[in-house]
Structure 1
Amino acid sequence: MPKPPTRTHALDNLRTSLTALVVLHHASIPYGGAGSWLYASRLYVPNSSPTIVAVFLWEKWRRLGVPTLVYSLVGKGLVRGIIAARLRDETWRGVGREVLEGVGSEKGVSGPMWYCAVLFIFDVAYAVLLPLHFARASTQKLLSSMPPNTAEPSSTVLKTTSEPRPFDTVLVLIALCLTSTSSFIIRLSYPVGTHLWPLSLQLAYTPQYTMYYIVGVYIHRTGYSLHTAISPRTLRIVGTITGVITVVGFVWIRALLDQGVVVAHVFPLASGGANFLALLYAFWNEFAGFVIASFLLRAFHDPNLGFLAKEWRVGGVEVEVAKYSYAAFLVHTPLLVDLQCLFSKWGLEDIGTVPSVLIVGILAVVESWLVGAMLKVSVEELGFKGYL
């Protein structure tokens, strides 16, 4: 067995940063923040040669299914209880009533757990449709096996004898165009903001999730490095197209405003329907997302930005920040709601929108990691290691 390579912390740090952005984005919503924050993640699964399908599915159920089930059962009730206690000064009986009503009214996946639910479904479909991917690969060597510490599967790394060439530019453009077109067609009937029960999934973005999951599997199985899979030339071309789409979009919006259309009626057009702005947004979302993701992956592997690739720890304390990213993601919603309620109750929102978002968001990030770390340690102490 070859010696396992030193683990890179670049992707751990990227995941940590994106988790913090989730909290900051959710902090901005009550204060008038807008935008379509997309949960980027490494949707790739391991070619687990010594692992049978049943074991793989059990691992995914523990890391994705169980947290989704638990959160969906109690999440809404917990948030309702917090609001009742903080804003309405309800008694313990009143808070308990709100919690029970929230638990009883919950039907389907709750809150941000749609991501885990969808990823679990993708993993199940992958295991069922392509079981041979879990057989021992005869043409590749198993280099390392690292137990995943989050919901993102990253336990096994396989490499071929040499680094594959970057994806062909034409193939990248075809994939982006097909995904954009599919998104536009879906949005004719299911515009952005329409959730599919019981997953709370927005069908408008399903083509994107599917494409990145499939590409992620392919990248992982063929030995690509995420930050070198796209050539600089491809990135320049996609970036240029993104810029053109952006300019055309602003020109089109300006034309609509000149025709007397009010702003409140312009932006909803982009969410879906048979109109040019919806078509532009469908393409812009895919192309811009591709460019942003590519730049982030390169930045977190850039030797000139070494701190992004080093293991992040809290000061001199031997605590790995990335280790608790998933737990922080799971607990951030009720903690954030609690902070927002307190901010409102104490009249601190008068300082303005941007300061409120920054202060509440930063506090929520710190609190989410602290509480998430305590939750993870407690769960593991009870004998449930591997669930968070």
Structure 2
Amino acid sequence: MARSDFLDRIRVVLTALVILHHAAIMFGAPGGWYLTIPTDNLAEKLPFAVFVSVNQAFFMGFFFLLAGYFSAISYERKGPARFARDRLLRLGIPLLVYGFVLGPLTVAIAGVHEGEPLLEHWAALATRLYFNIGPLWFALALLIFSAAYLLWRYLRNRASLGSWSPSHHTLLLAALATGACAFLLRLVMPTGQEIWGLQIGYFASYTVLFAGGCAMAGSRWLEHIGPQQARRWRLVAWLVGPLLFVYGIVVNLVLGQPFETSGGWTLPALAYAFWEPFVAWGIILGMLARFRRTGDPSPRWQPWARQAYAAYILHPPLLTAIGLAAATLPLPNMLKFVLSGAIGVAASFLVARLALRLPGAKSIL
């Protein structure tokens, strides 16, 4: 099965969005990052909140959809033993290297902002085998999902690839079911709480999208989405997207009540749980339709696509160091975000290109 070039272009854009997402959190958006330079300017806080909220609704879920799609195709091509070895190699090794080397390095870089000496701090963390999973929670989650897929194929006696092609009604039911599961899941594990670095509160959509990608691999539906179906869901995203923020402004600024969406028996938590999949489905289908192209792979995009996974792994220490330097500039946080984000994306892909030249790196990254 040929790999579609436009899906690789989407991976590049999603990787850049991850870096920009973390840059936004670093300079005032809600969320957690190694280094945070908060802002009290409402004119900055609101755009930051909108940017990271919309990102969170779809971008990691889109990664899981693509991962499920290509995992099923990979299993079909390689068989269970080689597929398992490949997953352990490509996910397990980066997870360990990041956890024991790059994660502690990023913590040490962020500590410079508080006056900690960089090398001594990093050495102290490394000496006590400090493990920091950071954004490589994604690799851990994919290891778990890949093991589940292997088990499922084993129980199904190595059944052939799924050939599911969802209709409008199926997508609607999936969005409603995902929203309901997210709301119930967050009663137990609100967003922001972690187990092994995994924010379980977001895993309703991650699980549905990974499973959907596996189920659609046989039909290659991601590569043949009809324009009418994409337009309909893109319209849904445009209509539903602003509603959560309007609701939040009314509750928080007009009524003076906290707009808590992380979990619990509250209307904001319920609204957020159902808002996410409808926005996600619309953006994902819209991007798939928009990026689809015919003809030969683009020579301009191919090197970036090859570097995307390595850029994702390497960006935390680079972005944190860039943010640390930008924090000293006499600029508003919004401009620091734009500057750090742009440099962070370019630096991450550049260092990724260099990393891929290391012996054995191409077989892992």
Which residue of the partner structure matches residue 387 of structure 1? 364
**Structure 1, unaligned stretches of length 5 or more?**
138-157
1:214 to 211, 216, 220: 211
Residue 372 of structure 1, CA deviation: 1.1
Among residues 268, 274, 298, which one is paired with 1:277 in the alignment?
268
Bigger Cα Rg: 1
Q: Which of 314, 320, 324 in structure 1 is aligned with 2:303?
A: 320
Distance 1:298 1:238, change over 3 A: closer
Say if 2:5 and 2:297, in contact at 8 Å, map to a contact too: yes
> 1:21 matched to which residue of 2?
17
Contact preservation (8 Å) 1:183, 1:207: yes
Query: Which deviations, in whole Å up to 9, do the C-alpha atoms of 1:124-163 show, x marking residues without a partner?
Result: 11112222778585xxxxxxxxxxxxxxxxxxxx798xxx
Aligned equivalents of 2:141, 2:27: Cα separation in 1: 29
Q: CA deviation at 1:387?
A: 1.0
C-alpha distance in 2, partners of 1:277/1:106? Answer: 41
Which shifted more, 238-247 or 17-26? Answer: 238-247
The one-letter amino acid of 2:228's match is P
Aligned position for 2:142: 119
Superposition pairs of residues 1-388 of structure 1, within 5 angstroms? 7-34=3-30, 35-36=52-53, 37-38=55-56, 39=60, 40-41=62-63, 42-44=66-68, 45-47=71-73, 48-49=75-76, 51-83=78-110, 88=115, 90=117, 95-103=118-126, 110-131=133-154, 135=158, 137=160, 166-196=165-195, 198=196, 200-221=197-218, 223-229=219-225, 232-233=228-229, 236=232, 239-240=235-236, 243=239, 246-247=242-243, 250-251=246-247, 253-255=249-251, 257-261=253-257, 265-266=258-259, 269-301=260-292, 310-313=297-300, 320-344=303-327, 347-348=328-329, 350-378=330-358, 381=359, 383=360, 385-388=362-365
Structure 2 CA distance for aligned equivalents of residues 23 and 248 of structure 1: 24
Q: CA deviation at 1:79?
A: 1.6
Cα shift at 1:248: 7.0
Question: Cα distance, 1:77 vs. partner?
Answer: 2.0
Is the CA contact (8 Å cut-off) linking 1:77 and 1:103 kept in structure 2? yes
SS at match of 2:326: helix
Count of aligned pairs? 334
Q: Distance in 2 between matches of 1:234 and 1:295?
A: 5
8 Å contact from structure 1 (residues 324, 369) kept in 2: yes
- C-alpha distance in structure 1 between counterparts of 2:268 and 2:100, whole Å: 39
Contact 1:249 1:280 in 2 (8 A): no
State the 1:330 CA deviation: 0.7
Compare 48-57 and 276-285 and name the one that shifted more. Answer: 48-57
Question: Which structure dedicates a bigger proportion of its chain to helix?
Answer: 2
Is the alpha carbon distance of 1:241 and 1:361 closer, same or farther for their aligned partners in structure 2, counting shifts above 3 Å? closer
Normalising by structure 2, report the TM-score.
0.81
Distance 1:369 1:326, change over 3 A: same
Give the Cα separation in 2 of the matches to 1:241 and 1:85. Answer: 41
Distance 1:98 1:217, change over 3 A: same
Distance in structure 2 (CA, Å) of the matches to 1:50 and 1:273:
44
Cα displacement (A) at 1:369: 1.0
Equivalent position amino acid for 2:137 in 1: W
How far has the Cα of 1:280 moved from its partner?
0.7
C-alpha deviations, 1:26-65, integer Å up to 9, x for none?
1121211242433221122134345332211110001011
Greater Cα offset, 205-214 or 29-38: 29-38
Cα gap change, 1:79 to 1:384, in 2 (>3 Å) = closer
Alpha-carbon distance in 2 for matches of 1:49, 1:237: 31
In structure 2, runs of 5+ residues without a counterpart are: 31-51
185-194 or 62-71, larger mean C-alpha shift: 185-194
State whether residues 238 and 287 of structure 1, in contact with CA within 8 Å, keep that contact through their aligned partners in structure 2.
Answer: no
Give, as a single letter, the amino acid of the residue that structure 2 aligns with 1:18: L
